[in-house]
Amino acid sequence: MIATAGNRGDSIRSDCFIQLELKVDGGLHIELSSKVGVLYERAINELCESILRFYEIENAWLHIEDKGALPFTMAARLEACIKELNPCDKEYLFPILPQNKNLTPQDINRRSRLYLPGNNPKLMINAGIYGSDGIILDLEDSVAPDKKEEARYLVRNALRSVNFYGTERMVRINQIPAGLDDLDFIVPQPVNLILIPKCESQTDIVAVEQRIEQIKGQNNETIHLMPIIESALGVEKAFEIASASENVVALAIGLEDYTADLGAPRTYEARESFYARTAVVNAARAAGKQAIDSVFSDIGDMDALRANVKESKSLGFVGMGCIHPRQVAIINEGYSPDASAIEKAKRIVEAYHQAVEKGSGVVALGSKMIDPPVVKRALKIIDTAISTGQLDKDWRANND
C-alpha cells in the first residue's frame, strides 16, 4: 500500500514529491529532505502529522522531498496519496482567503486570461501580479493523464489559499464526461468561471449545469461558464451552445484543436480559421455573449502577437488567451480602446447626453447626425475605458 504524488527533480521549485506507505503498527515516521528544512522542518512535520491524524492514520511511513512547497501544495500532495490508498469523503481544507471571495459580473473585461498548468504550483503563486483579467487553472491539456487526479487537489487548494489579487478565477475542466468529476473538487471553492473544452452541443452545457446545481445545494452564488469551440461540429453548433444558458457569459475558440480537426496547419495568416472565428463571433454576439479568441502559441514573437490581436479585435473578439505572462500587456493594450477612440467616444457621448437633456431624439456632433448604433458603440468604449482605468468614471463632471 504505497502511493506517490507531486513532482521531483533538480528543476522543480515550490513543489514537493511525497511517498506514503500505510503500516499496521509502528506509529508515524516522517523522513524529510527539504531545501528549507533548517527553518521549517518542525512546521512541515506538524502539518503532515495533523493531516494524517485528520484521516485517522496512526501508522505510516512518509517520505518527503521538498523543494519549497507552500502548505497548500504539500497538503494537496499528501491528501492525494491518502485518498489513493484510503478513499473517503473527508477533505482537509484551508480557510478561504477573504480576497478570494469576490464575485465577478457577467460583462467583466476578459481581454486576457492566463493559462496555468493545474499541476504546477510554482506558476500559481504569483499569477495574480501579471495583470491578466483572468487566471485559468488548467486541469485539461496541460496536465498529464496520470497526474490529473492529484492536480484536482492542488487546484482546489490554490483557489482557497493563493492570493490572485482580484483577478477572475477560472478553471478549465476536462472534456465531458470526465470533466464532470472535476466539478466535485472545483464548484465548492471560490471559483468565478468554468471553461468547458471541446464543447460540441448544448448537451455539454446542460450536463455541467446540472452537476453544478447538485453540488452547490443552497449556495446561490453564480458560476459563469465559457464553452470552448474546438471542432468543426462545435463551430456549426456555436449559437446553440452560446444560448444554452444564461450562465454562459462568453464563447471561446481553440484553434489548435480546430485546425487539427480540419486537417489543416495553423498559420499566421489564419485563412484556415477565418470562417470559424467569424462564425464564433457572430454566434456569441447573436446570443448576447462575449467572443474570446484562441491563444497565440509563439511566445517569442511579440510583433506577430500584436498583429494577431489587431486582426482579432477587427473581427469582433474582445479578448484572447495567454500562455505566457509576457503576452499579457500586449493583449490588454490591444483589446483596450486607444486614446483617439476614447476622445471621439467622449464627444459622441457628450452630444448624446445633451440631446437627452434637451428632450431631443436627434444626436448631432457639429453638423453631423449620429446614428443610434454609433452612440451605442461610443457608450461601450467609454464603459470599457472606465473599467480598464483609462478614464475616470466622473469624466463628464470633470469636463465642466
- Over residues 223-270, the pLDDT tens digits come to 999 999 999 999 999 999 999 999 999 999 999 999 999 999 988 888
Mean pLDDT within 199-205: 97
Query: Do 315 and 196 reside in the same domain of the chain?
Result: yes
Domain assignment of residue 381, yes or no: yes
**Per-residue confidence (pLDDT) for residue 122, from 0 to 100:** 95
Domain assignment of residue 21, yes or no: yes
Domain assignment of residue 91, yes or no: no
Model confidence at 338, in pLDDT bands (50, 70, 90)? confident
**Per-residue confidence (pLDDT) for residue 361, from 0 to 100:** 66
Query: Do 127 and 230 reside in the same domain of the chain?
Result: yes
Total tally of structural domains belonging to the chain: 3
Model confidence at 218, in pLDDT bands (50, 70, 90)? low
Which of 85, 117, 149 is the C-terminal boundary of a domain? 85
**Per-residue confidence (pLDDT) for residue 38, from 0 to 100:** 85
pTM: 0.91
**Per-residue confidence (pLDDT) for residue 317, from 0 to 100:** 97
261: its cell numbers: 480537426
Cis peptide before 177 (omega within 30 of 0): yes
In CATH, what number is assigned to the domain containing residue 230?
Answer: 3.20.20.60
Distance (Å, rounded) from C-alpha 3 to C-alpha 38? 27
Model confidence at 371, in pLDDT bands (50, 70, 90)? confident
**Per-residue confidence (pLDDT) for residue 186, from 0 to 100:** 97
Lowest mean pLDDT among 86-95, 164-173, 347-356: 347-356
Query: Do 212 and 346 reside in the same domain of the chain?
Result: no
pLDDT at 307 exceeding the cut of 80: yes
Which of 85, 119, 148 is the C-terminal boundary of a domain? 85
Range of the domain at 70: 2-85
**Per-residue confidence (pLDDT) for residue 155, from 0 to 100:** 98
Query: Do 260 and 177 reside in the same domain of the chain?
Result: yes
Query: Do 293 and 383 reside in the same domain of the chain?
Result: no
Q: Which residue has the cell 468543426?
A: 232
With a CB cutoff of 8 Å and minimum separation 6, the contacts of 345 are 337, 377, 378, 379, 381, 382, 385
Which of 59, 85, 111 is the C-terminal boundary of a domain? 85
pLDDT at 400 exceeding the cut of 70: no
pLDDT at 106 exceeding the cut of 80: yes
Model confidence at 286, in pLDDT bands (50, 70, 90)? very high
With a CB cutoff of 8 Å and minimum separation 6, the contacts of 370 are 348, 351, 352, 363, 364
Model confidence at 151, in pLDDT bands (50, 70, 90)? very high
Distance (Å, rounded) from C-alpha 49 to C-alpha 379? 58
Domain assignment of residue 371, yes or no: yes
Domain assignment of residue 90, yes or no: no
- For 372, counting Cβ atoms within 10 Å of its Cβ (0-12 exposed, 13-18 middle, 19+ buried), the class is exposed
**Per-residue confidence (pLDDT) for residue 208, from 0 to 100:** 97
Query: Do 278 and 393 reside in the same domain of the chain?
Result: no
Query: Do 159 and 236 reside in the same domain of the chain?
Result: yes
Query: Do 355 and 284 reside in the same domain of the chain?
Result: no
**CA–CA distance from 91 to each of 10, 178, 185, 191 (Å)?**
31, 21, 10, 18
Query: Do 146 and 52 reside in the same domain of the chain?
Result: no
Mean pLDDT within 37-54: 94
Query: Do 195 and 275 reside in the same domain of the chain?
Result: yes
54-64 pLDDT per residue, tens: 999 999 999 99
Domain assignment of residue 7, yes or no: yes
Domain assignment of residue 93, yes or no: no
Mean pLDDT within 286-299: 96
In CATH, what number is assigned to the domain containing residue 25?
Answer: 3.30.230
Query: Do 53 and 125 reside in the same domain of the chain?
Result: no
Residue type, 44: I
Query: Do 262 and 389 reside in the same domain of the chain?
Result: no
Give the residue from 33, 71, 28 showing the smallest Cα distance to 52: 28
**Per-residue confidence (pLDDT) for residue 105, from 0 to 100:** 93
Domain assignment of residue 368, yes or no: yes
Q: What secondary structure letter does DSSP report for 151?
A: H
